[in-house]
Amino acid sequence: MRFIIHGATLSHSLQAISGVIPSSRTMPILLNFLFELDGNTLTIKASDLETTASVRLDLDTVEHTSVDRIAIPAKILLETVSNLSNQQLNISVKEDLSVEINAGVGKYKFLGESADAYPKAIDLENPQRSVISSSVLSKAITKTIFATGSEELRPQMGGVLCEQTTEGTVFVATDAHKLVKYTRTDCSVDENRSYILPKKPLTLLNKLLISNKEDVDVVIENNETNVRFDFSNYTLVSRLIDGKYPNYNAAIPSNNPNKLIIDRNMLYDSVKRVAVFASQTSNQVVFRLNGNKLLIYAQDTDMATDAREELNCNYQGEEMEIGFNANYLTEMLNNVDTEMLLMEMSTPDRAGIIYPYDEQAEETQENILMLIMPVVLMN
């Protein structure tokens, strides 16, 4: 195998898929990139067994030899190529599996490993197929992935639920303290399906979608155990999370008569400032709603700290006090795109629901609902 490629192209491609490579040495072959040359197409793969990411590169200058597949150590290759990103690279692989990179006045040589030991790609049998635009998929991931859980006892909550139906597509994430439901009515399928996407490959997929910059179609294929995303010159294959996702609709209160409309930035900044004075145990900030005034306060009696701010708002409902975890609340506020937001509440012991709010907005093909559980009020 011998080919010529620009350093920036190779460096970008390696960096894009390198997040899959595991940090442990449990299976040393996975600390390598797999290079495969077929015709004028070079395919580079990275895997941790659960997830495999690959990028395809079309080359102008190639030379086929007896070694057209090789596993190349990721660490030394990444560091070498990143320092040669402004040069043309002439890369050759010898029969003894040595790899040689010639660039400008430099020559760099190291050993690879046999590709035979590299895990075979996951083959999806009888997959269901759908297509979604990369911009929609990226937004769905961004709006939900922060709400995933991390408990080993409930692995289903460590991923994002994807429900594709004849009426649209719903993405849901929850960790039992907060929940996000992102709905698209413009992404329907002919046959209903549901699966849970793991957090790690979703994070990598979102980086690939964002780095691709262009809005392209993403082909999604899934069966009961695996899912594959294919777009541009990238492919990502991952195992799905096994098990049944919690009944998230049962957690969403249906009767919420108390409604707060307020400037998102103003509320976000206020909560951030007041939360500095909150108890480190509960991280609780309290909303006291009365008329068109919102009092936000926090205190830590052990440290003798106290902070409060009063904001103007549009509130319709009974006078009430309700407490929230400041970290969860700011995460949600940070994911509201509109200038104003609507928060619906019923009682201090039931979840609050946050929606983007734009009085002038026309009906759109997306909807987002964010639910936050209250914190028991501390005297």
In the structure encoding, which two tokens stand for residue 201, read together?
Answer: 């490959």
| pLDDT score of 270 | 97
Task: Record the pTM.
Answer: 0.92
b/e per residue, 12-48, with b = 16+ CB within 10 A? Answer: ebbebbbbbbeeeeeeeebbbbbbbbeeeebbbbbbb
In the structure encoding, which two tokens stand for residue 303, read together?
Answer: 């440290």
Burial bucket for residue 247 (CB in 10 Å: 0-12, 13-18, 19+): exposed
Domain ranges of the chain: 2-117, 128-249, 252-372
Residues of the chain with pLDDT below 50 are: none
CATH superfamily of 2-117: DNA Polymerase III, subunit A, domain 2 (3.10.150.10)
Q: Mind listing the pLDDT tens digit for each residue in 309-332?
A: 999 999 999 999 999 999 999 999
CATH fold of 252-372: DNA Polymerase III; Chain A, domain 2 (3.10.150)
CATH of 128-249 among 1.20.1290.10, 3.40.50.170, 3.10.150.10, 2.60.40.10: 3.10.150.10
| pLDDT score of 359 | 75
| pLDDT score of 157 | 93
CA distance 70 to 72: 6
